[in-house]
Chains A and B, each alone.
Chain A
Amino acid sequence: GEEVAQTPKHLVRGEGQKAKLYCAPIKGHSYVFWYQQVLKNEFKFLISFQNENVFDETGMPKERFSAKCLPNSPCSLEIQATKLEDSAVYFCASSQSIQGSNYGYTFGSGTRLTVV
């Protein structure tokens, strides 16, 4: 499809529970990105994939966060043992494989995670 689809739209977890978020990139887009937005502030980059391979994971809190993009499946972002500070909107974006300039991403509508 022509939209980046993120599910679920809202997710509520108790502290210490696991949270799993999904993202289906636009068909034909090779690159997937995850961003975290806390309290409508800046977007914090988490991780990016080039097809199934991690391209850049410099933003990932490695202890509790993990992500995958497997063939023929939506990409996923998983948080083990959630903490209150993980409450945020998590955005996924995808972009085409085009050599040279960055043509910008297409964003999903986000998953709002609330940890209580």
Chain B
Amino acid sequence: AQRVTQPEKLLSVFKGAPVELKCNYSYSGSPELFWYVQYSRQRLQLLLRHISRESIKGFTADLNKGETSFHLKKPFAQEEDSAMYYCALSSGGSNYKLTFGKGTLLTVNP
């Protein structure tokens, strides 16, 4: 069975501070990991995929298979980063379901 754990329900930082949203997963095979973001009153949007190793809006995430983690990081948080962040795992291609974590609500204070 696959599982995604986001240990922090809430995370609050000040503008300009580094931020790290934690994500751990449980899966026996080779997973594909994602971060999704939901800004206030907007739909869920794809932020990052681990396979593309990209940086979006200053965020990065590295898949650590040894620690089964995919933490999301940003060196300098901005107020507009305030949102709900969901980590998700897929066991296969584009037709496979995603398993989501329960989400972390990030608040960036001025």
User: A residues touching B (Cβ–Cβ < 8 Å)?
Assistant: 30-31, 33, 35, 40-43, 45, 48, 50, 55-56, 59, 91, 95-110
Given A43-B100, A45-B99 in contact, is the A104-B93 Cβ separation under 8 Å? no
Compute the total of residue contacts between A and B using a CB distance below 8 Å.
Answer: 69
Q: Are B45 and A107 in contact (CB under 8 A)?
A: yes
Given A42-B103, A104-B34, A104-B49 in contact, is the A55-B43 Cβ separation under 8 Å? no
19 contacts between A and B (CB under 8 A): A33-B97, A35-B100, A43-B98, A48-B95, A48-B96, A56-B97, A59-B97, A97-B94, A97-B95, A101-B51, A101-B93, A102-B92, A102-B94, A102-B98, A103-B94, A104-B36, A105-B98, A107-B36, A107-B45
**Complex CA–CA separation, A35 to B44 (angstroms):** 12
Min CB–CB distance A105 → chain B (angstroms) = 7
Given A48-B95, A48-B97 in contact, is the A105-B46 Cβ separation under 8 Å? yes
User: B residues touching A (Cβ–Cβ < 8 Å)?
Assistant: 32, 34, 36, 42-46, 49, 51, 84, 86, 90, 92-103
**Complex CA–CA separation, A105 to B95 (angstroms):** 9
> Which residues of chain A are within 8 angstroms of B97 by Cβ–Cβ distance?
33, 45, 48, 56, 59
**Complex CA–CA separation, A107 to B37 (angstroms):** 11
> Which residues of chain B are within 8 angstroms of A100 by Cβ–Cβ distance?
93
Min CB–CB distance A8 → chain B (angstroms) = 15
> Which residues of chain B are within 8 angstroms of A31 by Cβ–Cβ distance?
94-95
Shortest Cβ distance from A100 into B: residue: B93
Other A-B contacts than A43-B86, A98-B93, 16 sampled, CB-CB below 8 A, are A33-B98, A41-B102, A41-B103, A42-B101, A45-B97, A59-B97, A99-B93, A101-B32, A101-B51, A102-B96, A102-B98, A103-B49, A104-B36, A105-B46, A107-B36, A109-B42
